[in-house]
Amino acid sequence: MTPTEPPVGRHPGWPVRLGPLRVAAGVVRLRPPRLRDASAWSQLRLRDRDHLENWEPSAPGTWAERNGLLSWPAQWSTLRALARRGQTLPFVITVDDQLAGQITVGNVLRGSLRSAWVGYWVASHLVGGGVATAAVALVADHCFGAAGLHRLEATVRPENGASLRVLTKSGFREEGLFQRYLDVAGDWRDHICFALTAEEATDGLVGRLVAGGRARLV
């Protein structure tokens, strides 16, 4: 079935909860962000500055200011507003029901393009436990299904080996190098562009993980 344009003001496939999926690190679920996530979100972000700052876009203010407890309400409100307008699908990643990161489908375009980008981060103590790979699989299957998208893109710095492994294991293919693409950690950084289309994921990314023994349906 070919996805059709949603009625004006509606976002197909949103809001929604995805999972659960068991991986080495625990049971992964995705859900919309909540205002009361502020404390857990801020604690993780402040603790993991060294793990995250080199991969995220530069922004005004210090790391503590951008990721402190009081900064979450504005971010949450912005994500909710964008989701209601059909421009974003924002998710919190939980592992064993504890906040463990975020994954966001952004710049959702409809019409003849039906594309978006996907970005994510996961707490440092869970890296290597299959959490990011599970989150990408859950999101991709949802985007190519209920959300009615055709193409997902992800851009990653060449130095970010962990994220490169997540995308390649998930079946994303490398499309090229974007030179001086994004201001990250105070300078314009090259990024590798990866992409995946619905035709390349007809068997489902979650299904691939399960068939390969890297995840289990719960």
Predicted model pTM: 0.94
d(CA 179, CA 191): 7
110-120 tens-digit pLDDT: 999 999 999 99
Nearest CA among 62, 71, 17 for reference residue 43: 71
33-64 tens-digit pLDDT: 999 999 999 999 999 999 999 999 999 999 99
Mean pLDDT for 94-122 is 97
SS3 state at 70: helix
Nearest CA among 73, 56, 89, 87 for reference residue 157: 56
d(CA 78, CA 64): 19
> What is the pLDDT, as a whole number, of residue 5?
46
**Domains in the chain, CATH or no CATH each:** 18-217 (3.40.630.30)
134-193 tens-digit pLDDT: 999 999 999 999 999 999 999 999 999 999 999 999 999 999 999 999 999 889 999 999
Confidence label for 11 from pLDDT (cuts 50, 70 and 90)? confident
